[in-house]
Amino acid sequence: MADLLPEKCTVLVIGGGPAGSSAATQLAKRGIDVVLLERAKFPRNQVGESLIPHFWKFTDQLGVTEKIQQQGFLSKAGGITVWNNKIHQILFSDYGYTRPGLHIERDVFDQLLLEHSEQQGAQVFNQVVVKKVDLSQSQPIVAYTDTRGTSNQQGTIQCQYLIDASGHSSLLAHQLETRQTISSEMNFLSLWGYFKSSRFVGVDRQSHSHAELKTMAPVTFVMTHDDGWLWHIILREKTSVGLIVHTDKLTGMNKIQREAYFIHSCARIPYLKDLLRDAEFIAGSLQYRPDYSYYASQACRENYYCIGDAAGFVDPIFSHGVQNAFYNAAVASLAISESLKNTKKAARFAALCENRMQQFYSFSRALSLGDFGCNGVHRDLVKSLMKSMPPLELELMLVASEMTNRSENFKQLAREAGVWEQFSEQFEQQKKGVIAELNF
Ligand SMILES: Cc1cc2nc3c(=O)[nH]c(=O)nc-3n(C[C@H](O)[C@H](O)[C@H](O)COP(=O)(O)OP(=O)(O)OC[C@H]3O[C@@H](n4cnc5c(N)ncnc54)[C@H](O)[C@@H]3O)c2cc1C
């Protein structure tokens, strides 16, 4: 880690999660002077442990694929959902993917990405908290507190371009009051915790003991329950279990009551209770995220870019968060590096970037949320993305949308975009893949 904070830099990145670290890598690889400030000491905990295989194309670009492979994260072949009692299975290999999805420990994964950005030439400072951004001049000035020593040191850094990758705290969108809460019937919060010795769902649709991970590929297991939906993601040493719950269900509950609700739910929900029958809850591991779905109405301007969760958050049902973060980082870094070559076009590049990011988020929201209300779905942008996607990738998304009951609008957009007809036959075949029962 770098030691002395500079007073100026070309690009300053706030936050060292996948969005921030991958933006820093993209810029440093182009020879651009980039400083990244991260408030936590890494490794730090983070939720979001299921990755769908799309993410590899970004790690290839970053040059970090080999390091990820060497880590030995668990490979997953696909997912199984039990949605309103209907069981579906998706295998990535059916859609032409030759590389697997992963179940990752985010503390390890995020640290690996951050170290990689430093190895590519980014100046990375952990335990430096950004407090405020002054955008009144053409070059943003970032005020920080350096918490590394015994006394907290205050300072400022001036930069030509700012990237806000501060995650769900969305520093800049809060400051600029552009953060909008999604107005949707899908008004959820999340509670998640970790278990030791949980069983897992194998690609063979059976339940297996943790020890069988050596011989059986796992899948991500997702199902509905009375109060929302849940995930079960097996990791190398522990298992992540998350309950996504309608907000009003937990209103007024304190921490102890939330934990009691979580443990009680895990012990009574069908399938989940079987998977957890030999498991032990890791005391103190329960976490809670109340402000759940939001977006920044303006994510990019000529001298700043909000990316990853700082720009928006979509219900994680289809595990899009990390790949959205990678995608935003790639387009924002491209816009900034082009703006540095041609400053007169900086506003134009920012507008293009904004458009692409809104397109990607709109696509995720259209897939994940049942209603479109005033929740940041730009229908035309989704349709144009559908038309330009590789057919197998789109087909996977359409089949994924079929796994939950939130899909009608998504299919409607595919019809309007004129891309539905080419899939309907395969779709019917897929439906035959609906599973009658799981053997737990
Ligand atoms: C319940 C839940 C389940 C999820 N499941 C999945 C999943 O299965 N798959 C998936 O792909 N995604 C999932 N996600 C989404 C995923 O976690 C996020 O999309 C992803 O972490 C976004 O990366 P990021 O870099 O934008 O933000 P983060 O990973 O949050 O990183 C932001 C960083 O900024 C730092 N920071 C914040 N404020 C400051 C500041 N003021 N100064 C300096 N640093 C600061 C933070 O310490 C943090 O390290 C899930 C999310 C939730 C809430």
Range of the domain at 248: 188-289
In degrees and rounded to multiples of 5, residue 375 shows phi and psi of -115, 30
Predicted confidence at residue 1, as pLDDT, reads 56
For residue 117, tell me if it sits in a domain: no
Is residue 337 a contact partner of residue 11, using CB atoms and an 8 Å limit?
A: no
C-beta atoms surrounding 263 within 10 Å = 14
Domain for residue 52, yes or no?
Answer: no
Going by the DSSP 8-state scheme, the letter that residue 271 receives in this structure is T
The per-residue pLDDT for 255 is 93
Q: Does residue 32 lie in a domain region?
A: no
Could you tell me the distance, in angstroms and rounded to a whole number, from the CA of residue 309 to the centre of ligand 1? 6
What is the whole-number distance in angstroms between the Cα of residue 437 and the centre of ligand 1? 35
Task: Give the model's confidence band at 356: pLDDT under 50 very low, under 70 low, under 90 confident, else very high.
Answer: very high
Q: What is the pLDDT of residue 145?
A: 98
Report d(CA 322, CA 137) in Å as an integer.
32
Please name the residue whose Cα sits nearest to atom 9 of ligand 1. 319
Question: What is the number of the ligand 1 atom nearest to the C-alpha of 233?
Answer: 8
Burial of 89 (0-12, 13-18, 19+ CB in 10 A): buried
Of the given ranges (97-101, 156-160, 358-362), which has the lowest mean pLDDT? 358-362
Ligand 1 center to 318 CA (angstroms): 16
Average pLDDT of span 216-221: 95
At position 293, the amino acid (one-letter code) is S
Round to whole Å and give the CA distance between 351 and 357.
10
Model confidence at 364, in pLDDT bands (50, 70, 90)?
confident
What pTM was estimated for this model as a whole? 0.94
* 191 against 84, higher pLDDT: 191
Let me know if residue 101 belongs to a domain: no
The secondary structure of the chain in percent helix, strand, coil, rounded to multiples of 5, reads 40, 25, 35
The protein residue with its alpha carbon nearest to ligand 1, atom 6, reads 48
Length of the chain: 440
**Residue whose CA is at the smallest distance from ligand 1 atom 41:** 130
Q: Between residues 362 and 285, which one has the greater pLDDT?
A: 285
Centre of ligand 1 to C-alpha 54, Å, is 18
> Within 6 Å (CB) of ligand 1, which residues are found?
14-20, 37-40, 44, 46-51, 129-130, 165-169, 171, 190, 192, 242, 289, 308-310, 316, 319, 321-322, 325
Name the pLDDT band for 185 (thresholds 50, 70, 90).
low
Those residues with Cβ within 8 angstroms of residue 411's Cβ, 6 or more apart along the chain or in another chain: 398, 401, 420
If you measure from the C-alpha of residue 291 to the centroid of ligand 1, how many angstroms do you get, rounded to a whole number?
A: 13
**CATH code where residue 205 lies:** 3.30.9.100
Does some domain include residue 206?
Answer: yes
- Give the distance (Å) from ligand 1 centre to CA of residue 208: 30
Domain count, the chain: 1
Query: Which ligand 1 atom sits nearest the alpha carbon of residue 289?
Result: 53
Supply the pLDDT for residue 2: 59
The answer to whether position 202 is within a domain reads: yes
Residue 361 pLDDT = 85
Of 63, 92, 88, the closest CA to residue 77 belongs to 92
Strands (E), 247-359: 280-281, 287-289, 294-296, 300-301, 304-306, 312-313
- For residue 266, is it within any domain? yes
Q: Could you count the other beta carbons within 10 Å of the beta carbon of residue 236?
A: 15
Q: Whose CA is nearest to atom 30 of ligand 1?
A: 167
Mean pLDDT of the chain: 91
Q: Decide if pLDDT at 12 tops 90.
A: yes
Residue 208 lies in a domain: yes
What are the φ and ψ backbone dihedral angles of 405, each rounded to 5 degrees? -95, 25
| Residue of minimum CA distance from atom 15 in ligand 1 | 321
**129-155 as b/e: b if 16+ CB within 10 A:** bbeebeeeeeebbbebebbeeeeeeee
Distance 221 CA to ligand 1 centre (A): 21
Residue 128 has pLDDT above 60, yes or no: yes
pLDDT at 164 over 80: yes
Tokens read off for 440: 């737990």
